[in-house]
Amino acid sequence: MKISIDEKHLYDINADVTVVFTLDTNELLHEGVLKELGFKATQDETCYISEFKTLYVGVEANEHDLFRCAAATAIKTLSKFNYASFKVAQGDVDNKEGIFNALVEGFILGSYKFETYKSEKSPSNLKEIIFSSKTLEDKTSEISILEEILVRAQILAIATNYTRELVNATPEDLFPLKLANIARDLAKENNLECKILDESELKNENMNAMLDVGRASRHESQLIHLIHKPKNPRAIVSLIGKGLTYDSGGLSLKPAASMVSMKLDKSGGCAVLGIMKAISELNLPIEVHGIIGAVENMIGGDAYKPDDVLTAKNGKTIEVRNTDAEGRLVLADCLCYAQEKVQADYIFDYATLTGACVVALGHYTTGLMGHSTKLKHSMSRSAFNTGELVGSLPFNRYLKKQLKSEVADISNISNKPYGGAITAAQFLDHFIEDENKEKWMHFDIAGPAYVESAWGYNPYGGSGAGVRMTVDWLSNIK
């Protein structure tokens, strides 16, 4: 979809439909008609006046994420019509309140549809969005500022939709080797370095925990390592993603209902790919390493078992008490690999790690965990800037003791059923070197990564959680 900016006032621009976002019905061009129709401008409420070819969309308050949601509502509404173009005012002068950026993102995120497996598609006739550089109050923004914001917003929203597409792909279509090939294609298109480790190379790296998780699958496990390496980078960052292309639970088999939608378990790895796509297209002056453990956790005669003791890359032994706590085993080896290969200033990992995080924070919120309060606060600011929801869960020494094993260095699950999101992160903490403790943060995206109902500007299925807030955070490194 083409998005452009015009210096004319909104009502002087030629387009099929006009879209107006409003906090109330006072002093609007069609105020009388709107009141007759009972339009109250509540959040995401719409009123289309056919006579004037104008769509009004309500916004609850002057907050950028509410405009992002309203923009998604607008484009979903208009996609049902036969119009090819619409025009809209840019929102606030020079985007000081983030509204122009939010509208661009909202239109692109709201237009996303996953119809790969449908025999009949539902294409939209919409081809063009034209923004006025003026607000409805006739205040003007610099075109150069808006154009810069437009490019950035498009890159971020498209990278998010790219992530959604990967998350939504079925396990039969997107298995570890296929994810590795997608990473190779992304590297070629976006001038990234790319290293892929197959199972023989993983064995040479002593990444036995990751190998054991995937050994019952007919699809070989793969480690993906993408690198964005500009000259004189301001910082070096490692991003590690859990890429379980499917999780049956292993021999600790999931109930049938819980197994449906487990294609989502690759969301952390897909988020890392989306972030690498965005930062390379923005050409951020940060060296970024995207590392993904791509594995399929299946059952069979060769499956790893409860009571097995696995040896991770750093030599620590792990007692397996539940094979459905597999993501942390993959991440343990990937975190060790990342610290051995890269001297990073920051280390972030992304995973749909625990249902316990959904219990704690709900479906729409990412759990932030780690040792650095400063790091968590700075990421919370970036989450706010992009409309993503985060909540911090605290570590404590009493919960950590629940991972004790009598037969190995550590157990892969807690001996108590409570605080599971925190104990999972504290398991990962055992694989973070002491000098890196303050550099590391864990993102449990189990809640927002995949939801089986539309919410805000997110559709049914994959949301692309983690992409926009991380790129915002990386963009603010000085």
| pLDDT, tens digit (0-9, with 9 covering 90-100), for 60-108 | 999 999 999 999 999 999 999 999 999 999 999 989 999 999 999 999 9
pLDDT tens profile 100-129 = 999 999 999 999 999 999 999 998 999 999
pLDDT digits over 353-368, tens only? Answer: 999 999 999 999 999 9
CATH number at residue 408: 3.40.630.10
Contact 249, 323 (CB under 8 A): yes
| 328 is annotated as an active-site residue | yes
Tell me the pTM: 0.97
Question: How much is the pLDDT for 389?
Answer: 98
Share of the chain above pLDDT 90, in %: 97
pLDDT band at residue 41 using 50, 70 and 90 as cut-offs: very high
User: Same domain for 70 and 203?
Assistant: no
> Considering 113, 254, 321, 341, which one is annotated as catalytic?
254
Average pLDDT, the chain: 97
Whether 115 and 236 map to the same domain: the answer is no
Does residue 175 share a domain with residue 128?
Answer: no
User: Model confidence at 27, in pLDDT bands (50, 70, 90)?
Assistant: confident
Note the pLDDT of residue 26: 86
Residue 451 lies in a domain: yes
Question: For residue range 394-408, what is the model confidence (pLDDT) as tens digits?
Answer: 999 999 999 999 999
Q: Is residue 150 part of a domain?
A: no
Confidence of residue 25 (pLDDT cuts 50, 70, 90): confident
Spot the catalytic one: 242, 263, 328, 376.
328
pLDDT in tens, 336-357: 999 999 999 999 999 999 999 9
For position 254, what pLDDT does the model report? 97
Residue 117, domain CATH: 3.40.220.10
Tell whether 194 and 332 lie within a shared domain: yes
Domain count, the chain: 2
Among 125, 141, 157, residue at a domain's last position: 141
pLDDT tens, residue by residue, 168-207: 999 999 999 999 999 999 999 999 999 999 999 999 999 9
Task: Write the pLDDT tens digit of every residue in 237-266.
Answer: 999 999 999 999 999 999 999 999 999 999
Domain presence at residue 146:
no
Asked whether residue 153 is domain-assigned, the answer is: no
Q: Are residues 177 and 258 in the same domain?
A: yes
328 and 369 Cβ atoms separated by less than 8 Å: no
| 119-170: pLDDT as tens digits | 999 989 999 999 999 998 899 999 999 999 999 999 999 999 999 999 999 9
